[in-house]
Structure 1
Amino acid sequence: MPRTVALFSLGGAPGVTTLAMALASVWPEESGAVLVEADAAGGDIGTWHRLPASPGLTDLAAASRHRQPGAGEGPGAHTQTLPGGLAVCVAPVTADRAGGAVRLLADNAPTLATGPGPAVIVDLGRLAPRSPTARLALHADTALLVTRDDTAQLRRVKESVPAFTESFSRLRLVVVGGGESAKEIANVMGIPVLGRIRSDDKAAAFLRGERRISRPQRRPLFKAAATLAGRLAEPTSPVSPQPAGTAA
């Protein structure tokens, strides 16, 4: 089963960070999941929740220089805990520091999962070809390309498909919003659609720490994330695409 799941977009702010947070918070395995914010443009979670920069991605990257392959501390040793219990390895807020940490991590520890223990959900933000972020994505067990169901973003995805399918053996699409069927999008894009995510501003605001929700697990975002996490955590391999006509 996947031990590392990387989420990224090609632009257009489809909500990669909030989806990654929701996915990690509802991971179905007993050991749970930790979230690594590895956005080279700078992180948001520390600002949203008023967290210090350390422990976080910079510490994980520095530790990776001394880690032997297949051993040593994983991301869980460099996390902070959000209200509700989600363990997060936060990225620096500025692009220069975040980009430096991502480069160092990609050079020294491209595989973030260190064996038994929590799954690792990696928020890569916007991915650029041949970047350190792309190198981290290549070493994930499953890569999820997150896109909104609008003409501009879907066109960008379609034009990028040839390069991605050559590089990623387990690339899946997650579509936010829209009304086109998963089968139609998969046929046009050439990438299996693993899930559909309904827009959910209230749940996104909750994850950013901007509002309270009494039963967040009942919100559409968390329900969709739970369905997606369940599919990703299945012991079968490879991860199967979403059946046609099914909505997450």
Structure 2
Amino acid sequence: MPLLAVTYVKGRPGATTTALGLAAVAPEWARPVVVECDPAGGDLMRRHRLAAAPSVVDLAAAARGAASSGDVFAAASQPVTVREEAAVPVVVAPAGGAQTRAALPELTGSGRTMLTTSDRVVLVDCGRLEPGSPVWPLLRLADVVLVLARANADEVAHLREYLGDLVDAGRARLAVLLGAGGVYSTADVADVLATHIGQELAFDPQAVSVLGPLPHDRQAAGVLGGELVAGRRWRRLPLMVAYARLWTDLASYLPAVAPQPTDVATETTP
């Protein structure tokens, strides 16, 4: 079922904030869960003062036991409460990256389907993408890989260097999400990437979508980072509005989530 991987190449941290922000404003059908798989270690535990367990280590242990993914996410996640009406289940990772790096093969190895058989959208925070990173097998499992970048010369240049591997990684739809502070327009970046993919890599130029840019919004970033308390109108903050609109673009790339069974009253005939 739907797996959305969030990563960045260089100079644009924010994968954790974006994964959590998307989950916080996800449509009802998504039933999202955020899983921290950053090989450098997780941030949500300290940002939102969560417990050290359960964590991605427990999720990996469940994968070894081939447990039901629905039960596992319920048991391995903790709630991050933006407000009372918006609690996001998250599977945290320890701050040190060693345990996460050890857990990743259990989640992405041959025959492992823990992250792709859920009846909900799984948003995976992959952190920074580097050559030889243990998250590459995870990206190959994803339905959508969302790469964060600013629209400036150095970050676009670094992104171009990874495009061949990203497009060739597997079935994933690749989407570049531009952050605040860039100097080029979305159309300019899309044209540069499409030209590089089509002419230099000989791939379909339509294989990559360029979305955004996201607005500069310190208040929403503070809420998602656990530094500020969300007000009643937190969904109207510019960054949260932008995340909500992103679902319109992303939903077309994600497989449908299986509907949950409901109790149907049995009618009796007198």
TM over 0.5: yes
Q: Note closer, same or farther for the CA distance 1:129–1:111 as it changes in structure 2 (3 Å cut).
A: farther
Distance in 2, matches of 1:221 and 1:156, equals 25
Partner residue of 2:222 out of 200, 205, 209:
205
Distance in 2, matches of 1:67 and 1:36, equals 18
In structure 1, the partner of 2:99 is: 97
Per-residue deviation, 1:31: 4.9
The answer on 1:4 being equivalent to 2:40 is no
Query: Any conservation in 1 of the 2:4–2:143 contact (CA below 8 Å)?
Result: yes
Deviates further, 132-141 or 177-186: 177-186
Per-residue deviation, 1:34: 0.7
Rg: which structure is higher?
A: 2
Distance in 1, matches of 2:240 and 2:163, equals 28
The answer on 1:224 being equivalent to 2:242 is yes
Q: Note closer, same or farther for the CA distance 1:74–1:132 as it changes in structure 2 (3 Å cut).
A: farther
Give the aligned residue type for 2:177.
V
Give the aligned residue type for 2:249.
R
Per-residue deviation, 1:111: 5.3
Per-residue deviation, 1:230: 2.6
Give the aligned residue type for 2:11.
G
Q: Deviations over 1:154-199 (max 9, x none)?
A: 1100122122222244111111022532221111023321332112
Q: Note closer, same or farther for the CA distance 1:28–1:71 as it changes in structure 2 (3 Å cut).
A: closer
Q: Note closer, same or farther for the CA distance 1:224–1:37 as it changes in structure 2 (3 Å cut).
A: same
Q: How many residues align?
A: 234
Distance in 2, matches of 1:123 and 1:110, equals 17
Per-residue deviation, 1:60: 0.2
Query: Any conservation in 2 of the 1:56–1:91 contact (CA below 8 Å)?
Result: yes
TM-score by length of 2: 0.79
Q: Deviations over 1:73-96 (max 9, x none)?
A: 443431001123111000111011
In structure 2, the partner of 1:54 is: 53
Q: Aligned Cα RMSD in Å? A: 2.2
Provide the identity percentage. 35
Distance in 2, matches of 1:107 and 1:159, equals 26
In structure 2, the partner of 1:67 is: 66
Per-residue deviation, 1:72: 6.8
Q: Note closer, same or farther for the CA distance 1:50–1:179 as it changes in structure 2 (3 Å cut).
A: same
In structure 1, the partner of 2:144 is: 142
Distance in 2, matches of 1:133 and 1:235, equals 21
In structure 2, the partner of 1:240 is: none
Q: Deviations over 1:97-145 (max 9, x none)?
A: 2221223322263550324x32111110112234321111110111111
Match of 2:135, SS state, is: helix
Query: Any conservation in 1 of the 2:34–2:124 contact (CA below 8 Å)?
Result: yes
Match of 1:197, SS state, is: coil
Per-residue deviation, 1:235: 7.5
Per-residue deviation, 1:228: 0.8
Q: Note closer, same or farther for the CA distance 1:143–1:76 as it changes in structure 2 (3 Å cut).
A: farther
In structure 2, the partner of 1:182 is: 186
Deviates further, 72-81 or 212-221: 72-81
Per-residue deviation, 1:61: 0.7
In structure 2, the partner of 1:78 is: 76
In structure 2, the partner of 1:244 is: none
Matching of residues 133-172 of structure 1 within 5 Å: 133-169=135-171, 170-172=173-175
